[in-house]
Amino acid sequence: MRVFEAKNRLGGRAHSFRERETGATIDNCQHVLLGCCDAARGFLDKIGSAERIAFYDQMTLIGAKGESLTIKSSMLPAPLHLLPAILRTRYFTAGEKLELGRVFARIAQTPPENTLSARDYLREIKCPQRLIDLLIDPILASALNETASDASAEYARMVVSKSLMEGRHGYKLGVPDGPLSQLIEVPALRYLSRRGCMVHTSAKIEKLHFRGDMVTSALLSDGKRIRPDYYVCAVPPWSLDEMGFATYAARRLRWRPIVCVHLFYDDPCVDFERSCVVGEPFGWVFNKTSDFGLNFGYIQAVASAAESLNGLDNNDIIELAERAVAKAIPHPHKPALKRAVIYNASRATFSTGDTSDGLRPSTVTPIQNLFLAGDWTDTRWPATIEGAAISGIKAANAILRR
């Protein structure tokens, strides 16, 4: 087997790079897993890096006035496992707590119509707007990179069910304890090499050549041709289109941005780990100082569903990131900002929308020896590491059947 990667490193959209001024190896953006991501956890276990993911048994949401909700499982069976945490919090009023129980029951009992948006579905099951703002939208933005107004009802229901209702550990947040290169790139390369796979980086495939219903060869950017028996293309749909295999997804899938601001501080002593900051463009902040073994402070602020940041200059974006960090730090100490680096992924994830599944192609194509992989293919999951892992499993199984 041979792997050809256009970039000079593996990992795709989950990669690390060396920041030129601080010299730190940092990630393009914080990637996380939920406890319900079985395929992704199986992939990491197979390549030998599953222990690099720390799963935390509580998740904290911080409201506009500093009120907080700590989501933590109890000994009660699902779907009652989060009930004690919800009853104890002042994040919701007494009436909202009762209403939340009714909403969860309706979500469990009422599948959405195919054409409904998440917003329309939530209105149909009589979910109050304030519960959408306080809980549903932060979860959807984290998992889907979309809010209820843009996400599909089917995927919104799946995310809420799998993370909060179906199992006692589905909500747990898995965070890498170091750079993504050590989680994916290095162990994956080692795993492949030990099994005789040749990995070629900076080796872009420019064109696929077809004869009838077969790929006969692939042309590399250096002019060489390769002629394997089977091809798995794990590239974005626009790259696949350029290679000569057009899909509806390349032309009609919509895409959502994510913006990550890397904040470096003189003072490493900020005593929080991670928080979801509700009502801010930068909805998640992660303290990565100890994870990356640094002697200065390093915090990532992540803005999902980041269309609202379009048109802002860098100073405004950094100011919004710092505002979210200030809400997450549990004391008035404000460390001095040393440097900020902005990473903007304009096509970070596809929009789940109410038509996306009709645009996502199958693993198996009409070309007998061409198979597709990638989180944008038809995995029945949104654009996540879990979806990417599922797509790889489907492609491997399809080749074995063929």
DSSP-derived pairing of the beta strands 58-62 and 68-72: antiparallel
Q: How far is CA 232 from CA 128, 245, 258, 276, 366, in A?
A: 45, 12, 27, 37, 13
Judged against a pLDDT cut of 90, whether residue 369 lies above it is answered with yes
pLDDT digits (tens, 9 = 90+) for 248-264: 999 999 999 999 999 99
Q: Mean pLDDT lowest for which of 113-117, 151-155, 267-271, 301-305?
A: 267-271
Give the number of other Cβ atoms within 10 Å of residue 14's Cβ.
Answer: 18
**Structural domain spans, the chain:** 58-171, 255-350
Q: In whole angstroms, give the CA distance from residue 297 to residue 270.
A: 7
**Quick one: CA dihedral 140, 142, 146, 149, positive or negative?**
positive
Mean pLDDT score of the chain, rounded to an integer? 92
Percent of the chain exceeding pLDDT 70 equals 97
State the pLDDT at residue 269. 63
State the pLDDT at residue 24. 84
State the pLDDT at residue 172. 87
Identical fold at 58-171 and 255-350? no
Percent of the chain exceeding pLDDT 90 equals 72
Q: Which residue has the higher pLDDT, 80 or 388?
A: 388
pLDDT digits (tens, 9 = 90+) for 343-363: 999 999 999 987 888 899 999
DSSP 113: P
Judged against a pLDDT cut of 90, whether residue 223 lies above it is answered with yes
User: 3-state DSSP call for residue 394?
Assistant: helix
Contacts of 62 (CB under 8 A, 6+ apart): 68, 275, 276, 277, 278, 327, 328
Type and span of the H or E element at 217: strand 214-220
Give the per-residue SS3 of 220-234.
ECCCCEECCCCEEEC
Residue type, 81: H
Judged against a pLDDT cut of 90, whether residue 330 lies above it is answered with no
Looking at the domain 255-350, which fold is it?
Polyamine Oxidase; Chain A, domain 2 (3.90.660)
Q: Which residue has the higher pLDDT, 36 or 125?
A: 125
Q: Mean pLDDT lowest for which of 151-165, 185-199, 215-229, 287-301?
A: 287-301
Residue 208's beta-bridge partner residues? Answer: 218
Judged against a pLDDT cut of 80, whether residue 238 lies above it is answered with yes
State the pLDDT at residue 322. 94
State the pLDDT at residue 64. 83
DSSP-derived pairing of the beta strands 274-277 and 255-265: unpaired
The architecture (CATH level 2) of 58-171 comes to: Orthogonal Bundle (1.10)
